[in-house]
């Protein structure tokens, strides 16, 4: 059997995992060389989906579940006040959630997390490719941008695990390594400022900086330029998602 070399093109998934966190430049150098491997982005995506699906299990904590129920009740009442539903319908929905206990919240949360994770992943990769191809004039194929986006998801997995520990530790659904900690005791999901603070997540910023390094290396441009472009894309996403969530909650 031919001995496996330690060249960048043969970097293992394990080395990519550790390097994307400890030495991102080295990890991305390994991604720059062919061949493109589907496992490079599929494996971290699977882990991210699993961690996201486990997140609703925090509802088993009485304090977190009570907070989630209060939030749901406020949203239902807001829909009643806006005329989107009757008080009787809101009461029926509240009664159903109370009788179902945490089960319905956990199941709905798991399904929503799985769908949302895939939509964000496969919706973001084409934007990275288009940005690298046309804004930075990079020549990397689409598969390479999937590898880049997928490999940086290991940072997202780590961030999600930290957030889960914080939710349980603070017994608050809104605890996370973000600006939300500044208003944790009075966090209101319908408040635009609070949602923006929650979006300022340390791990999200970290991940997009690494994405920026990848964009610059793929196009052989200055790293600062890639980070600036990636940061700009992230800010646009934060603004759009924040106001979309606000519109949904205001329905």
Q: Please state the rounded mean pLDDT for residues 181-193.
A: 90
Q: Please state the rounded mean pLDDT for residues 196-206.
A: 95
d(CA 104, CA 107) in angstroms, rounded, equals 5
Q: What is the pLDDT of residue 213?
A: 97
Task: Kindly report, residue by residue over 127-165, the tens digit of the pLDDT.
Answer: 999 999 999 999 899 999 999 999 999 999 999 999 999
Sequence-ordered alpha helix ranges (H) in the chain = 13-22, 24-32, 39-54, 62-82, 87-100, 102-130, 142-170, 192-199, 202-219, 223-249
Is 0.95 topped by the overall pTM? no
Length of the chain: 251
| Tokens describing residue 14 | 């394990």
- Angle at alpha carbon of residue 162, lines to 159 and 168, rounded to 5°: 140
Q: What is the pLDDT of residue 98?
A: 76
- Cis status of the peptide bond prior to 22, with omega within 30 of 0: no
Q: Please state the rounded mean pLDDT for residues 222-228.
A: 96
DSSP summary character for residue 4: P
Q: Please state the rounded mean pLDDT for residues 209-214.
A: 97
**Residue 168 banded pLDDT, cuts 50, 70, 90:** very high
Q: Please state the rounded mean pLDDT for residues 69-75.
A: 80
**Residue 71 banded pLDDT, cuts 50, 70, 90:** confident
Q: Which residues pair with 178 in a beta bridge?
A: 201
Q: Which residues of 206-244 are buried (b: 16+ CB within 10 A; e: fewer)?
A: bbbbbbbbbbbbbbebeeeebbebbeebbeebbeeebee
Q: What is the pLDDT of residue 73?
A: 81
**Residue 191 banded pLDDT, cuts 50, 70, 90:** confident
User: Residue 141: left if φ>0, alpha if ψ -120 to 50, beta else—which one?
Assistant: beta
Question: Which tops the pLDDT comparison, 243 or 146?
Answer: 146
Could you give the 3-state DSSP secondary structure of residue 178?
Answer: strand
Helix, strand, coil fractions of the chain, as percent rounded to 5: 80, 0, 20
Position 5 pLDDT exceeds 50: no
Q: 149 and 211 in contact (C-beta within 8 Å)?
A: yes
Q: Please state the rounded mean pLDDT for residues 4-12.
A: 51
215 CB-near residues (< 8 Å, 6+ apart) = 128, 131, 132, 136, 138, 148, 221, 226, 229, 230
Position 1 pLDDT exceeds 50: no
Q: What is the pLDDT of residue 103?
A: 83
Domain parsing of the chain, residue ranges: 12-249
Q: Mean pLDDT check: name the lowest of 19-28, 62-71, 99-108, 241-250.
A: 241-250
Enclosing H/E stretch for 49: helix 39-54
What value does the mean pLDDT of the chain take?
Answer: 88
Task: Kindly report, residue by residue over 92-122, the tens digit of the pLDDT.
Answer: 888 877 777 778 878 888 999 999 999 999 9
Position 245 pLDDT exceeds 70: no
**Residue 246 banded pLDDT, cuts 50, 70, 90:** low
């Amino acid at each position: 059997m031919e001995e496996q070399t330690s060249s960048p093109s043969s970097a293992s998934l394990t080395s990519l995992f550790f390097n994307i966190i400890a030495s991102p430049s080295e990890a991305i150098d390994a991604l720059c060389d062919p061949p493109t491997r589907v496992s490079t982005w599929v494996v971290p995506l699977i882990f991210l989906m699993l961690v996201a699906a486990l997140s609703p299990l925090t509802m088993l904590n009485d304090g977190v579940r009570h907070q989630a129920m209060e939030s749901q009740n406020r949203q239902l009442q807001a829909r009643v006040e806006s005329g989107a539903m009757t008080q009787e319908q809101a009461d029926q929905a509240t009664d159903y959630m109370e009788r179902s206990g945490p089960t319905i919240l956990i199941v709905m949360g798991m399904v929503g997390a799985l769908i949302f994770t895939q939509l964000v992943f496969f919706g973001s990769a084409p934007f990275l490719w288009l940005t690298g191809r046309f804004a930075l004039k990079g020549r990397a194929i689409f598969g390479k941008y999937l590898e880049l986006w997928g490999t940086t998801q290991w940072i997202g997995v780590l961030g999600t695990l930290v957030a889960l520990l914080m939710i349980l530790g603070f017994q608050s659904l809104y605890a996370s390594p973000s600006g939300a900690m500044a208003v944790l005791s009075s966090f209101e999901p319908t408040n635009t400022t609070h949602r923006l603070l929650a979006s300022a997540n340390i791990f999200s910023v970290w991940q997009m900086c690494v994405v920026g390094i990848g964009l610059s290396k793929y196009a052989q441009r200055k790293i600062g330029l890639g980070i600036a472009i990636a940061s700009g894309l992230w800010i646009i996403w934060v603004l759009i998602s924040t106001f979309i969530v606000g519109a949904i909650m205001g329905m």
